[in-house]
Amino acid sequence: MMRSTRLACGVAFCLLAWGLQTAVVGAHRLHPDEALYGHWGLLILSGRDAWLTTEPVYKPPLLPYLLYGSLSLLGPRELAVRLPGLLAGPVTAALTARLAWRLYRDGLVGAVAMATVALSPLAILLFSTGFTDPLMVALGLGGCVAAAEGRPGLAGLLAGFSFAAKQTGLFWAALVAWLVVAAVARGARPARLAGDLLRAGVGLGVVLAAVAGWDQARVMHGAASFWQTGVSGYGGLRLIWPAEWSARLRAWRDEGAYLLGTLLDGALLAGAAALVWRAVRRRDWAGLFDLTLLVSSILYLLIHWLWAFPVWERYLLPLLPLLALLLGRTATWARSLIAPRHRLGGWLALAIVVAAMAAPASAAVSGAVPLGAGLDAYDGIEQVVDLLARQPPGSVLYHHWLGWHYGFYLFDGPLYLAYWPHPAWLARDVQAFGQAEPRYVVFPAWESSARVQDALARVGYCLNLLLEARNRRGEVRFRVYRIESCAATDERSDMPQM
């Protein structure tokens, strides 16, 4: 491809990525993790807890402080929470194409890889969220591009910022180090290797030291280390038991179906085998980079399969640009077989990839893919919040499931939030203080209120239904109750209806 053609394709696919992700950014309400990160940002913005010492923080500091900035610009809105991820989406697509050009000097590889990132259902629905993963991927990929361009200091700095977004960013540090070595070796300047690695290490170390300093400052104020909190939150990292192997492998396979769409999975597998064969036979830089991408992807999958990480689709996002590059290389291999000397062969390969991914991308935008910004489990929470925000100041809201949502949507609201660990505790608290101020409790549709009703009835209290919050399909998602004495409820039911 000519430079002008590559530029036009790059702009087109960046706009496509931005458009598809923007189309779904406000489709559904925040995931609990997104609401929690937004709450951290509001704590910083309000000045109430600038160091996040009162929270069991389990992530590095970059995203909460970026959210401080977006929340100060846009206010406490869902879009402010999702803005960093939304900006990272087209940037990741562009960086994938840039890395393809630096590694392979083939416009078709970059165009196919960029189209893959733009149209991937996983990208569409995750880059439009407030999770830490989009930011981590964009920064880590930026570090790889900087390393391939011979800018090791910037590469190390960006790899460090990737870690500052999420601990998994350390994955990119290894790739960055290898690409620094490759950039020096390709330039036939071995004398520069030690210096470039040192500059990359200094860039990485500066950010790691800043993160460690922030964490230590929190610990000195009585908070737990984010690293320790994160590990304990997983229940401690461990190797999985043999009995878990097959179930976890199937679960990761099912989540991986959203990376490319099933039509291209077979093509990628066949292409990867062909690229390995080519690399073994030719032993050139292109083949070495193919093996690097393939081995990195396999190792990443093995770590997440064999260690007891939760099986969550967003953990697969770092694989997307790597697999997209391999798919681009597969397209060039196919072009060399079908039309090695005809320019239309490349356009045909690109058209096939776009056509194959069009249906999965459309399904993601239409809400048919249940992940990320397409997760409608919490639709209706806005109705709940609107009702609760209008209750008298000092009212008590008991929560067991939705505390992170309340922390964001009702930040500085009029209600006192009280966590109830079990129905007996709730009943005792209501019995002791139930006459003092209004008290409310909310049940998601997937949880039964029967045990709480029974416990309250034993102390003379009942649940009075105030609202059934429904999603756009008319399904009940949440029920809001006011806790009242059963005598008062019976009196109202006995009153003549006008």
pLDDT digits (tens, 9 = 90+) for 373-387: 788 899 999 999 999
Residue 178 confidence (pLDDT) above 90: yes
Average pLDDT over residues 261-283: 89
Tokens of 242: 């043999």
Beta carbons of 74 and 83 less than 8 angstroms apart: yes
Query: 441 Cβ partners below 8 Å, 6+ apart?
Result: 397, 398, 399, 420, 426, 452, 463, 480, 481, 483
Residue 27 has pLDDT above 70, yes or no: yes
pLDDT value of position 342: 64
Residue whose structure tokens are 């209806």: 497
- pLDDT at position 498 is 35
367 has pLDDT over 90: no
- Smallest CA-to-CA distance from 286 within 298, 301, 297, 276 is with 276
Question: Does 247 score more than 70 pLDDT?
Answer: yes
Q: What is the pLDDT of residue 294?
A: 97
pLDDT band, very low/low/confident/very high, at 434 (cuts 50, 70, 90): confident
pLDDT band at 341 (very low <50, low <70, confident <90, very high): low
Closest-CA residue to 306 (of 234, 232, 244): 244
Mean pLDDT of 397-414: 95
Q: Find the mean pLDDT for residues 445-454.
A: 95
| Residue 94 and residue 114 in contact, taking contact as beta carbons nearer than 8 Å | yes
What pLDDT, on the 0 to 100 scale, is given for residue 407?
Answer: 96
- Region 381-405: mean pLDDT is 95
What type of residue sits at position 358? A
Which single residue is written with the structure tokens 């505790």? 425
Phi (first) and psi of residue 478, to 5 degrees: -145, 150
What is the pLDDT, as a whole number, of residue 159? 98
pLDDT band at 235 (very low <50, low <70, confident <90, very high): low
Is pLDDT at 100 greater than 80 in this prediction?
A: yes
Cβ-based neighbour number of residue 77 at 10 Å? 14
Instruction: Give the residue-averaged pLDDT of 109-117.
Output: 96
Judge whether residue 19 has pLDDT over 90.
yes
Mean confidence (pLDDT) of the chain: 92
pLDDT at site 333: 87
Longest dimension (CA), the chain: 94
pLDDT of residue 495: 44
* pLDDT digit string, tens, across residues 188-217: 677 789 999 999 999 999 999 999 999 999
CB atoms within 10 A of CB 256: 16
Report yes or no: 395 and 434 within 8 Å, Cβ to Cβ: no
pLDDT-based confidence at 497, cuts 50/70/90?
Answer: very low
Specify the pLDDT at position 380: 96
The whole-number pLDDT of residue 371 equals: 85
pLDDT at residue 406 greater than cutoff 50: yes
Residue 340 in this model has a pLDDT that exceeds 70: no
Domains of the chain: 3-374 (no CATH), 381-494 (3.40.190)
Rounded Cα distance between 34 and 81, Å, is: 7
Please check the confidence at residue 106 and state whether its pLDDT lies above 80: yes
Residue 123: pLDDT over 80:
yes
> How much is the pLDDT for 1?
63
Instruction: Flag whether pLDDT at 339 surpasses 80.
Output: no
**pLDDT interval class at 496 (50, 70, 90):** very low
User: How confident is the model over 20-28, as a mean pLDDT?
Assistant: 94
pLDDT digits (tens, 9 = 90+) for 290-317: 999 999 999 999 999 999 889 999 999 9
Give residue 288's pLDDT: 95
Amino acid at 275: L
Q: Residue 188: what pLDDT? A: 65
